[in-house]
């Protein structure tokens, strides 16, 4: 592909996998440009002159960090999204793809899995309220650019992600990364149990970030501009995922305790994959147990 591709958030979870399969693109992180500053975003476009922008950069974290920092999660994401999208248009970028999240869907919804056209049918869950609305705003911005200027911009809505390059941190990390870290620490310190927040009953879809990177690459190479959900059909309770992870890490002897004083978060938010299967019928995501086992081995056994 001879077009110049810019990937923001290039050192993050998705960007790191994308770099392996789309090495010709320019991958930038906060070390290269501060996307919260308009002059630096302008400089980035002057320096790199992209034809295609894959906007992955975001302030992202676990539910508890979102609760602690609601202003940061809203403001920083709104600023980044607005500056990068606006400069993309000003610099005649032919293709812009923004990354959203399944947490932006309404909390009080009756029909599951959730279809793409249900995005604005209610408020998102209160624990991720500011982050979710910042991401919803990006969807609106993209749709409005397309409506007014006839651009070919799009957004993707992935389910929860995990991967080898995740934040393995109990507060700032995603659930699966934090879970693997807890299991590793328990095994290393010969503890007989781990403690998880909530009561284990919420349902979650988790997709390997490598699979999302593959879909992004395919959409660019095939010049497709769909707004759609990206997810696996595996949809399990937190308790089932925890037991699955213990099995994948050969730690089934470790017990699971739940701290019910902590919030569960959204009880269910699985998303519809019919559009994904229609446009990418041969796509086969990595099974969750296999993915967790491989990450545990690479991060904590072979390192």
pLDDT digits (tens, 9 = 90+) for 221-242: 999 999 999 999 999 999 999 9
pLDDT at 63 over 90: no
- 261-266 mean pLDDT: 87
Residue 216 domain-assigned (yes or no): yes
Task: Name the residue range of residue 112's domain.
Answer: 5-162+205-230
Percent of the chain's residues with pLDDT above 90:
86
The whole-number pLDDT of residue 166 equals 82
Residue 113 domain-assigned (yes or no): yes
Residue 32 domain-assigned (yes or no): yes
- 185-208 mean pLDDT: 95
The whole-number pLDDT of residue 171 equals 60
Residue 180 domain-assigned (yes or no): no
- 59-77 mean pLDDT: 89
Residue 182 domain-assigned (yes or no): no
Over residues 25-45, the pLDDT tens digits come to 999 999 999 999 999 999 999
Tokens of 88: 């993309």
pTM of the model: 0.93
Residue 129 domain-assigned (yes or no): yes
Residue 170 domain-assigned (yes or no): no
Residue 238 domain-assigned (yes or no): no
How far is it, in rounded angstroms, from Cα 292 to Cα 162? Answer: 8
Whichever domain contains 127, its CATH number is 3.40.50.720
The string of DSSP codes covering 255-277 is EEEEETTS----S---B--HHHH
Identify which of 127, 44, 23, 159 has the alpha carbon closest to the alpha carbon of residue 90.
Answer: 44
Percent of the chain's residues with pLDDT above 70:
97
Q: Domain total for the chain?
A: 1
């Amino acid at each position: 592909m001879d077009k110049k591709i810019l990937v923001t958030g290039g050192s993050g979870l998705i960007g790191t996998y994308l770099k392996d399969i789309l090495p010709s693109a320019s991958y930038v992180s906060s070390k290269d440009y501060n996307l919260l500053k308009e002059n630096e975003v302008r400089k980035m476009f002057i320096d790199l002159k992209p034809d295609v922008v894959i906007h992955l950069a975001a302030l992202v974290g676990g539910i508890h960090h979102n609760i602690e920092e609601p202003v940061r999660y809203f403001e920083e994401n709104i600023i980044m999204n607005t500056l990068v999208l606006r400069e993309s248009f000003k610099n005649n970028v032919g293709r812009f793809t923004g990354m959203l999240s399944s947490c932006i869907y309404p909390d009080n919804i009756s029909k599951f899995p959730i279809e793409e056209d249900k995005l604005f049918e209610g408020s998102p869950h209160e624990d991720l309220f500011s982050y979710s609305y910042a991401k919803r705003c990006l969807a609106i911005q993209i749709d409005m650019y397309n409506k007014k200027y006839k651009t070919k911009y799009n957004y993707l809505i992935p389910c929860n992600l995990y991967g080898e390059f995740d934040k393995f941190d109990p507060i700032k990390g995603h659930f699966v990364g934090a879970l693997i870290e807890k299991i590793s620490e328990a095994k290393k310190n010969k503890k007989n149990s781990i403690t998880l927040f909530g009561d284990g009953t919420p349902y979650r879809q988790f997709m390997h970030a490598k699979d999302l990177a593959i879909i992004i690459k395919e959409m660019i190479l095939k010049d497709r501009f769909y707004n759609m959900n990206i997810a696996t059909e595996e949809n399990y309770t937190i308790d089932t995922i925890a037991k699955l992870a213990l099995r994948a890490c050969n730690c089934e002897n470790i017990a699971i305790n739940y701290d019910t004083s902590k919030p569960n978060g959204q009880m269910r938010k699985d998303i519809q994959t019919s559009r994904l299967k229609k446009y990418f019928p041969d796509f086969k995501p990595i099974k969750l147990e296999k993915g967790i086992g491989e990450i545990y081995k690479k991060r904590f056994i072979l390192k």
